Amino acid sequence: MSTDTRAAAPEVRISGIDPHWWRQAAVYQIYPRSFADADGNGIGDLQGIITRVPYLAQLGIDAVWLSPFYPSALADGGYDVDDYRDVDPKIGTLEEFDQMVAALHAEGIRVVVDIVPNHSSDRHEWFRQALAAEPSSPERERYIFRDGTGPEGAEPPTDWTSIFGGPAWTRVPDGQWYLHLFAPEQPDFNWANPEVRADFLKTLRFWSDRGVDGFRIDVAHALTKDLTDPLPSEAELDAIPRDAGQHPIWDRDEVHEIYAEWRRVFDSYDPPRTAVAEAWVERHRRPRYASAEGLGQAFEFDLLTQEFDAAAFKDVVVDSLSLAAESGSSSTWVLSNHDVVRHATRYGLPPLPETVGTTEQDRKQGAAWVLAGAPEDQLDREKGQRRARAATLFELALPGSAYLYQGEELGLHEVGDIPDEARQDPTFFRSPGVDKGRDGCRVPLPWSSTGPTFGFGSSSAHLPQPQWFADYAVEAQEGVDGSTLEMYRAALHLRRELQTDETLEWIETGRDDVLAFRRPGGWVTVTNFGEDDAALPSGEVLLASSPLVGGRLPGATTVWLRESQS
Ligand code: GLC
């Protein structure tokens, strides 16, 4: 079976008027600093993306989502933004941004950018002004400053721990403290301040006017906070339920007033700009973020926290589709992103023993393996990749949007053994010994099999690339029948042809470890999560994640079929 369908699918060009393009889009996440480096400074850039537009077009994606490319000291990989309406000079210029949008649009690829509204960086002009100003000044009111406790206010206002570890408050020279839910370089904005609200509306218009099609909203569930005194202790905070919209920090009902205002901005454009929420909230609270009056779509992360297991996958799909039905949005599917261990690696690990300091979810995500020094004898690379390919074809056949992460189309594994001195992620520095951080999925992509940076740039890469990247390079897979890259290309092009109504019908397989479903129009997907091969329903085989054996579906394999019309 050939997997090369490069010439097969008609290209979809941007018509400018399809308001529903996002509902079942394949969105490819670019982590700009690690995608392609055109100027050779070791950091990926916008020119690098422009030179790779033909690659993206050939891949068959509908949109790219760019992680932050704004000016930043990179205290958190760019999620510490100095200026929301500019491009980091190390990455490019606004003119280059416009060129990139035009080049992508010319290929029918939409552009989604990351908005980071919970916090700026500590180098943002407003934060500098806040530091230079007096306590209680209008400049400080844009952030969350408080006096300390204890003698001379030398103790933080509360004992809260930040998400990245360490205290959530940092003291400034005049003795006040500011809140940062993440790193100290990421001061939280005060969303009760109308100036902050107005400035983000300006940012949304700024990028929308430049032709951006949509936004990915970072930590969308944290913006509004109830910080009236007395502030609760961490233990008290933890005891407050998060499922009722009244938690002092997370997922407060009033956050939706902000998104209703944003929606009015999105809808003032033609077609309306889209948004997807990164909101780690209780399941029944997700639909509100995804509603048409709000951001319009929300990430469902449940699939990426599952083992490669039929029952677990089915439960997530059923649940996510029912949530989508509730919100009126489409569902979203994610197997990898810039925050988690790559799925080829997760699926190649044995269930890890209980490890002190790690949660159930960490173990599933491979974080414990990274923490343990990435022992090679625990990772079955081939099994992981085979399962990852099967999971990907399963994912791409589901109704809704698939969010893909750069490098997964190469079957890339996590780089588990980055030396500590090369690590960049604040989670590593702020939680010594507990978390190795997320650098392993952010290593610059291998484009060619040779050269000092495997074709990423001319001389260096900002994170070290392992030798085995050579085997996964685009060059090594391009035109190679059965390669992971060619499987993604075939799947993404076929998906455009096969995608219909956002519904699916489960097909009884008679086996607990085999899932099958039918989409309208006779597109049937069967995934064998087990080891024993399985029978296939009749139909034309369109694509398989691994070769079929004697007309049967081997273990850890997905097949797409077109049902015979009777
Ligand atoms: C989101 C981003 C993550 C970042 C954090 C703080 O979770 O995905 O990369 O560190 O927000 O901005």
Consecutive H or E run containing 560: strand 557-562
* Token pair belonging to 378: 């625990």
pLDDT of amino acid 18: 84
State the pLDDT at residue 328.
96
521-553 burial by CB neighbour count: b if 16+ within 10 A, else e? eebbbbbbbbeebbebeebeebbbbbeeeeeeb
* Residue 244: C-alpha distances to residues 241, 281, 282, 285, 540 (Å): 7, 11, 9, 9, 49
Give the tens place of pLDDT for each residue, 100-140: 999 999 999 999 999 999 999 999 999 999 999 999 999 99
- Counting beta carbons within 10 angstroms of the beta carbon of residue 466, is it exposed (0 to 12), middle (13 to 18) or buried (19 or more)? middle
- Residue 426 CA to ligand 1 center (angstroms) comes to 11
Give the phi and the psi of residue 335 in degrees, each rounded to 5: -110, -30
Ligand 1 atom closest to residue 119's alpha carbon, by position in its atom list: 12
The pLDDT of residue 430 is 87
pLDDT digits (tens, 9 = 90+) for 357-404: 667 777 677 888 998 899 999 999 999 999 999 999 999 999 999 999
pLDDT of residue 372: 87
Looking at ligand 1, which atom is closest to the CA of residue 337? 8
pLDDT at 550 (0 to 100): 94
Return the H-helix or E-strand segment holding 288: helix 286-290
CA–centroid distance, 13 to ligand 1, in Å, is 32
Quote the pLDDT of residue 12. Answer: 42
How many Å lie between the centroid of ligand 1 and the Cα of residue 349?
25
Token pair recorded at residue 529: 């999560």
Most informative mutation of 66, 79, 113 for ligand 1 (most atoms within 8 A of CB): 79
Residue of 112, 339, 405, 435 to mutate, ligand 1, most atoms within 8 A of C-beta: 339
Q: What is the CA(81)–ligand 1 centre distance, in A?
A: 12
Length of the chain: 566
Average pLDDT of the residues in 20-24? 96
Asked if 423 contacts 464 with a C-beta cutoff of 8 angstroms, the reply is no
* Residue 218 Cα to ligand 1 middle (Å): 6
**pLDDT of 517-534, one tens digit each?**
999 999 999 999 999 999
The confidence score (pLDDT) of residue 365 equals: 75
Residue 394's SS3 state is helix
d(C-alpha 539, C-alpha 562), whole Å: 5
Whole-number pLDDT of residue 1? 33
Q: What is the pLDDT of residues 265-307, one digit of tens each?
A: 999 999 999 999 999 999 999 999 999 999 999 999 999 989 9
Note if the bond before 272 is cis, omega within 30 degrees.
no
Distance of CA 97 to the CA centre of its chain: 21
Q: How many CA atoms lie within 13 A of 103 on its CB side?
A: 19
Ordered strands of the 540-544 beta sheet: 505-506, 514-519, 523-528, 557-562, 540-544
The CA-based diameter of the chain, rounded to the nearest angstrom, is 83
Instruction: Using a pLDDT cut of 70, give the percent of the chain over it.
Output: 95
Which string of DSSP letters, residue by residue, matches 399-454? SSEEEEETTGGGTPPP-----GGG---HHHHHSTTT---SGGG-SPPP-SSSSTTT
pLDDT grade, residue 356 (50/70/90)?
A: low
Which atom in ligand 1 lies closest to the alpha carbon of residue 118? 12
Nearest residue to 66 (alpha-carbon basis) of 100, 112, 10, 12:
112
Report the pLDDT value the prediction gives residue 435, as an integer from 0 to 100. 84
Rounded distance between C-alpha atoms, residue 307 and residue 285, angstroms: 24
Share of the chain above pLDDT 90, in %: 90
Residues of the chain by 3-state class (helix, strand, coil), percent to 5: 30, 15, 55
One-letter amino acid at 462 equals H
Please give the number of the atom of ligand 1 that sits closest to the Cα of 338: 9
- Beta strand segments in 121-192, E: 145-146, 169-171, 177-179
Does residue 355 surpass a pLDDT of 80? no
Choosing from 81, 219, 338 the residue with most ligand 1 atoms within 8 A of its CB, the one to mutate for a pocket test is 219
Q: Is residue 37 pLDDT above 90, yes or no?
A: yes
pLDDT of 16 higher than 70: no
Q: Are 88 and 67 in contact (CB under 8 A)?
A: no
Q: Which residues, in sequence order, are CB contacts of 21 under 8 Å at separation 6+?
A: 62, 63, 110, 213, 271
Short-list 7, 151, 29, CA closest to 408 = 29
pLDDT at residue 13 greater than cutoff 50 = no
Residue nearest to atom 6 of ligand 1 (CA): 79
How far is it, in rounded angstroms, from Cα 255 to Cα 222?
Answer: 8
Q: How far is the CA of 339 from the centre of ligand 1 (A)?
A: 7
Cβ neighbours of residue 243 closer than 8 Å, sequence gap 6 or more: 282, 284, 285
Cβ < 6 A, ligand 1 pocket: 76, 79, 116, 182, 218-219, 278, 338-339
Distance 219 CA to ligand 1 centre (A): 7
Compute φ and ψ for 145, nearest 5 degrees.
-105, 145
Q: How far is it, in rounded angstroms, from Cα 314 to Cα 322?
A: 12
Ligand 1 atom 7, closest CA = 219
What is the CA(198)–ligand 1 centre distance, in A? 23
Q: Measured in angstroms, how far is the CA atom of residue 424 from the centroid of ligand 1?
A: 14
Token output for 438: 């997320």
pLDDT per residue over 56-109, tens digit each? 999 999 999 999 999 999 999 999 999 999 999 999 999 999 999 999 999 999
Q: Which atom of ligand 1 is nearest to the CA of 182?
A: 6
Which tens digits make up the pLDDT trace of 436-461?
999 999 999 999 999 999 999 998 99
Amino acid 10: pLDDT = 35
Average confidence score pLDDT of the chain: 94
Calculate mean pLDDT across residues 429-435: 80
Rounded Cα–Cα distance for residues 28 and 392 (Å): 13
* Digit-coded pLDDT (tens) for 171-205: 999 999 999 999 999 999 999 999 999 999 999 99
Q: Are strands 540-544 and 401-405 parallel, antiparallel or unpaired?
A: unpaired
548 Cα: distance to centroid of ligand 1 (angstroms):
40
Under 8 Å between Cβ of 386 and 544? no
CB half-sphere exposure, 275, CA atoms < 13 A: 31
Give the predicted TM-score (pTM) of the model. 0.95
Per the CB < 8 A criterion, the answer to whether 135 and 147 are in contact is: yes
Predicted confidence at residue 245, as pLDDT, reads 97
Cα–Cα dist 127/139, whole Å: 8
